Amino acid sequence: MQEQNVQKTQTKNTQAHKLELDRNHGASMTGVYAVPTFTDKSAIVKLKDETLTVSGQNLEIKILDVENGKLTISGTINSLRYSPSSAPTSFFKRILK
């Protein structure tokens, strides 16, 4: 399992997020700001105010256009999980909670 760092700086993406799932064999989405982590089993996609985690098997990035906020992933998609984006906390704040 090889991890790829596929992050680009994005400045002009103001598109609303839209997701189209193709019978669990792939997905196309808009409103993408960055893809900081991608493996053949998961992808973390940064959106405007949230993070989308895509889990599956044999995942591949077919199209990544961060300037226009577009991403297309192929492979078997098992789950999509949205979570709110939060400000990074320091290591000590997480331990002392």
pLDDT for residue 35 is more than 60: yes
Model confidence pLDDT, tens digit, residues 56-86: 999 999 999 999 999 999 999 999 999 987 6
Mean of pLDDT over the chain: 83
* Confidence label for 37 from pLDDT (cuts 50, 70 and 90): very high
15 vs 14 pLDDT, higher one = 15
Q: DSSP label at 41?
A: S
Answer yes or no: pTM beyond 0.75.
Answer: no
**Which domains are assigned to the chain?**
4-95 (2.60.40.2000)
Which 8-state DSSP code applies to residue 90? -
Structure tokens of 24? 């669990």
Long-range CB pairs of 85-91, under 8 A, 24+ apart, other chains included: 85/46, 85/47, 85/49, 85/50, 85/51
Are residues 51 and 77 in contact, defined by beta-carbon separation less than 8 angstroms? no
pLDDT at 24: 74
CA-nearest of 67, 50, 68, 88 to 9 is: 67
